[in-house]
Structure 1
Amino acid sequence: MSRFRLPPILRPRLTPKYVVSSVAAIYVVYCWLWGMPLLSSNLPAYTGPHSVGVIDIESPCDGRKTSDVKFKSTGEPAFLLETVLFSVYYPAVKGAKSDKPKHLWVPKPLAITAEGYAKFAHISNFLTNSIFTVALWGIAGSTTIQANVDVPLRETAPSFKFTEHREGKPEVGNDGFPVIVFSHGMASSRTDYTHFCGELASRGYVVAAIEHRDGSSPGSMVMNIDGTERPVYHFGLGELDVDNSFDTPELKQAQLDFRQAEIEETVRVLRAINDGSGATILEMNPRKEGDDLPNWEGKLDMTNVTISGHSYGATGALQALKGAPCPQRPFHGGLILDPGKSSGPLNHDVDVPILIVHSNSWSKKHSIFFGQPHFTVVKDLVMDVNKRGRAAWFMTSLGTSHPSVTDAPLLEPTLLSWTTGSTIDVIDGVRMYVNVTEEFMLFQKAHRRTGLLALEVTHPDYDSTSNGTQEMPELYHRFWQIHVAPDSV
């Protein structure tokens, strides 16, 4: 009688190669079973009292050029505004279900974003683009944004009335939802800040996160209402048909001017929705989202919009505040996060309240910026705003790093902490930014300082060793240093 023998695959030799392969296979199956990305974490749920919806809106523009610069390869304009694309995060009807799948964190086609990153690395070709595409798929190809797609907006908005029992918290009313327009940083896109934007939406705010097509984003697909599509990639100075007078500073200014045009177009679309043209915006949206937009009439507070941005986007947000508020840019406040150190001069002509927040790494690293320390330039800018009689703050979020406000640390917490030096818990990091943003938005509406914004200066200069000149409540001292605050409001 012959002995029963297991097939070779079921009686393997326990070599290091076999063990590693088996662990990798088990991990892939585990991620597949639990719906997890292969090499990253899922984005966390939002914590505010409201459900969160999201809509992608792409709206045709007038085709204006913000610069006459053209591409060498095609002769086409480099800064032609065909459409504007942005994601709107908003407080949704509680319990509303969507029949549409959640948005992917890396939009399809994924290869466009991958090729854009390869271009950033100056190694773009067929082979490297394919490698980048596979790597991006493995890291975050299946990651989805937590917001529900195209669900109805809440009927009522916060009224921001202060009461004895709910100091600094919005009550339900009909003042219109406060609006924030958000501009992303270099090598980023509108989907790099989904948790920050969604958290604010879960607390009662409408946030429009713009996708910039100025050459600073890895890649984006321009979609037209006639069904045509055109990919737009990152580009540098060497790809433009320019003479020696057009240098890197000129390119950055051209990008900032294009960003400002996109910001203004975003405001135009939001105003049209609020004025009752939601059905038209839906009809002209090639993304086919916004079924509830006709019901948004009169529900946005477009008289008191806040402009915000991170890094390159913070520099752009400051530029958009020049001359504001005005019809094209009805901004009554600016939330500026890590204003750029290499994205051109910072606009000092600001006549509205602003809050500038540095990550710990941004304040800690000494950087010369147009002949002065960057920290000093930012501090002087904020002090000038206060001298004009507008409330302005400048502070550092301790333990954070430059990417802390983005989704990146949430997806790769260990890797990002190791590479950036961030010491704060990744969720706490985003929460710090969200909390102080909410306090600033409440000040915008009610003109009353609460929470962190009610405190005085604790550290006139960034100092990693001392407790500062002013005692801070336990709730704040581990997380914040305040460098500039209004004397009185």
Structure 2
Amino acid sequence: MSRSRVPPILRPRLTPKYIASSVVAIYVLYCWLWGMPLLSSNLPAYTGPHSVGTIDIESPCDGRKTSDVKFKSNGQPAFLLETVLFSVYYPSIKGAKSDKPKHLWVPKPLSITAEGYAKFAHISNFLTNSIFTVALWGLAGSITIPANVDVPLREIAPSFEFTEHGAGKPEVGNDGFPVIVFSHGMASSRTDYTHFCGELASRGYIVAAIEHRDGSGPGSMVMDIDGSERAVYHFGLGDLDVDDSFDTPELKQAQLDFRQAEIEETVRVLKAINDGSGTAIYEMNPRKEGEHLASWEGKLDMTNVTMSGHSYGATGALQALKGAPCPERPFHGGLILDPGKSSGPLNHDVDVPVLVIHSNSWSKKHSVFFGRPHFDVVKDLVVDVNNRGKAAWFMTSLGTSHPSVTDAPLIEPMLLSWTTGSTIDVYDGVDVYVNVTEEFMIFQKAHRRTGLLALDVTHPDYDSSTNGTQEMPQAYQRYWQIHVAPEST
């Protein structure tokens, strides 16, 4: 057969346009064959000894308002707590199969999240919302969270043991699974930290990741038991019917107050499940998940609850620790990750152990915070906790950037490294947070300083090379600097 009779597509000219088109086509085909998102990576499997389950719980609240502020558009309250939504990650029965599909990393309808991001960029309209939706679908639309949905909770052994990173396994008794309540940052949602939460669950912890509806997230769907649904989006001062006395600091405080109410409602639901009301919580859950919650009775250690948060969520977590432990907030420890630099003053009235971790970018960048360097404010806060007789640590995770604890670097490793300056391997970036969190949880339960928490101060200030009370051991030099630690006893 002569070349002239071969269809043009089968006798291409190797032009730059043809080569680029071919590469794109091959990449799309490869992603389709292997079930991968078009422009991203799938989330990795968890590495702990336990299988991981997850449940979305949405529970009706008492309808309380934390502020009288209303929206301009419809006169409705901006801070009305109708329901609380959170995802629970937990150690599940090994080999348990779910008849429900895995949760999408970007929940449906995806257009809500896309429109929320367009509102953040102040370019929300029909065209830009559509563009954002298509772009978000291409980046992450098919990514799923590895945890199995609505599978049974693992049984607690007679002497349940934590997996202690780099050491033995101290017995902590049969008091139930330790609980962590997690608060996300600005422009984030409960699904932005799934690997951090799921990895902790794979090591024996129960983590409740809250979806905040305070206007700081991109978007969320409020669902009621009667089947009604209502989308809530990011909003700012311009969307509220307020006078000049209600400024940005007032808005941030209103958001933090609403977040605290959501935190307290999450604790209420967890207590109800632990007290034997799991069936009622399931029946009232419009997400239709939690069919095994009745078997969770007595399996949550509500005497060992840790409040945690990242960025804006870290500021909110510190606020929630004021007066703790108390019935509404039974927190016996705080895990504070990159406390906010623009989310309002940090609460110093903390009377429980705390672990404050700065990413490298958070410590490295000098930021003025209410007239003082942010680093110094955080350091003084941690020193104050130690002076009250409660163990407290402040440290920097080297090589990391502000998003390192989130799922973003795992999904877009090259893009995030290029835009944030992170130099740590993306998997190590999450693991260093998980490992030290586990050591902090062991300290709270067994009152033992292990691993990194067993060390004294190595760097009183960021990147200082002298005047520490202990030289950083070789195993940690690449990853950590310790600025504040409890006195050795």
Instruction: Report the CA distance shift for 1:2/1:436 in structure 2 as closer, same or farther (over 3 A).
Output: closer
- Matched letter for residue 402 of structure 1: H
1:117 maps to which residue? 117
Instruction: Report the CA distance shift for 1:2/1:239 in structure 2 as closer, same or farther (over 3 A).
Output: closer
Bigger shift: 236-245 or 149-158? 149-158
Q: C-alpha distance in 1, partners of 2:173/2:153?
A: 14
2:307 maps to which residue? 307
Instruction: Report the CA distance shift for 1:173/1:35 in structure 2 as closer, same or farther (over 3 A).
Output: farther
Give CA deviations for 1:102-127 in whole Å, capped at 9, x if unaligned. 00000000000000000000100000
Instruction: Report the CA distance shift for 1:210/1:131 in structure 2 as closer, same or farther (over 3 A).
Output: same
SS of 2:430's equivalent? helix
On the 8 A contact 2:162/2:203 being kept in 1, the answer is no
Instruction: Report the CA distance shift for 1:307/1:3 in structure 2 as closer, same or farther (over 3 A).
Output: closer
2:51 maps to which residue? 51
1:290 counterpart = 2:290: yes
On the 8 A contact 1:157/1:175 being kept in 2, the answer is no
Q: C-alpha distance in 2, partners of 1:3/1:362?
A: 63
SS of 1:349's equivalent? coil
- Matched letter for residue 278 of structure 2: G
- Matched letter for residue 378 of structure 1: V
Q: C-alpha distance in 2, partners of 1:417/1:3?
A: 48
- 1:5 positional shift: 1.5
Instruction: Report the CA distance shift for 1:153/1:121 in structure 2 as closer, same or farther (over 3 A).
Output: same
- Matched letter for residue 362 of structure 2: W
1:86 maps to which residue? 86
Instruction: Report the CA distance shift for 1:269/1:442 in structure 2 as closer, same or farther (over 3 A).
Output: same
On the 8 A contact 1:158/1:170 being kept in 2, the answer is no
Q: C-alpha distance in 1, partners of 2:44/2:468?
A: 34
- 1:474 positional shift: 1.7
Instruction: Report the CA distance shift for 1:172/1:10 in structure 2 as closer, same or farther (over 3 A).
Output: farther
Instruction: Report the CA distance shift for 1:163/1:101 in structure 2 as closer, same or farther (over 3 A).
Output: closer
Q: C-alpha distance in 2, partners of 1:198/1:477?
A: 27
2:342 maps to which residue? 342
1:239 maps to which residue? 239
On the 8 A contact 1:52/1:148 being kept in 2, the answer is yes
Q: C-alpha distance in 1, partners of 2:292/2:381?
A: 41
Instruction: Report the CA distance shift for 1:160/1:21 in structure 2 as closer, same or farther (over 3 A).
Output: same
Query: What residue ranges of structure 2 are gaps of 5+ in the alignment?
Result: none
Q: C-alpha distance in 1, partners of 2:392/2:160?
A: 20
On the 8 A contact 2:167/2:451 being kept in 1, the answer is no
Following superposition of structure 1 onto structure 2, how do residues 330-409 of structure 1 map, counting pairs within 5 Å? 330-409=330-409
1:175 maps to which residue? 175
SS of 2:5's equivalent? coil
- Matched letter for residue 136 of structure 2: L
1:127 maps to which residue? 127
Instruction: Report the CA distance shift for 1:4/1:321 in structure 2 as closer, same or farther (over 3 A).
Output: same
2:106 maps to which residue? 106
1:318 counterpart = 2:341: no
- 1:15 positional shift: 2.2
- 1:169 positional shift: 2.5
Give the aligned length: 489
% same residue: 88
* CA RMSD of superposed structures (Å): 1.9
SS of 2:221's equivalent? strand
On the 8 A contact 1:162/1:168 being kept in 2, the answer is no
2:67 maps to which residue? 67
TM-score computed with the length of structure 1 as normaliser = 0.97
1:32 counterpart = 2:32: yes
- 1:350 positional shift: 0.3
On the 8 A contact 1:220/1:233 being kept in 2, the answer is yes
2:20 maps to which residue? 20
- 1:157 positional shift: 5.8
On the 8 A contact 1:359/1:396 being kept in 2, the answer is yes
On the 8 A contact 1:67/1:79 being kept in 2, the answer is yes
Q: C-alpha distance in 2, partners of 1:212/1:124?
A: 21
Q: C-alpha distance in 2, partners of 1:281/1:140?
A: 31
- 1:13 positional shift: 2.6
Q: C-alpha distance in 2, partners of 1:307/1:162?
A: 19
SS of 2:381's equivalent? helix
Q: C-alpha distance in 1, partners of 2:173/2:36?
A: 39
On the 8 A contact 1:227/1:286 being kept in 2, the answer is yes
1:137 maps to which residue? 137
Instruction: Report the CA distance shift for 1:159/1:305 in structure 2 as closer, same or farther (over 3 A).
Output: farther
- 1:401 positional shift: 0.4
Bigger shift: 280-289 or 471-480? 471-480
On the 8 A contact 1:459/1:468 being kept in 2, the answer is yes
- 1:16 positional shift: 1.7
1:252 maps to which residue? 252
- Matched letter for residue 278 of structure 1: G
TM-score computed with the length of structure 2 as normaliser = 0.97
SS of 1:138's equivalent? helix
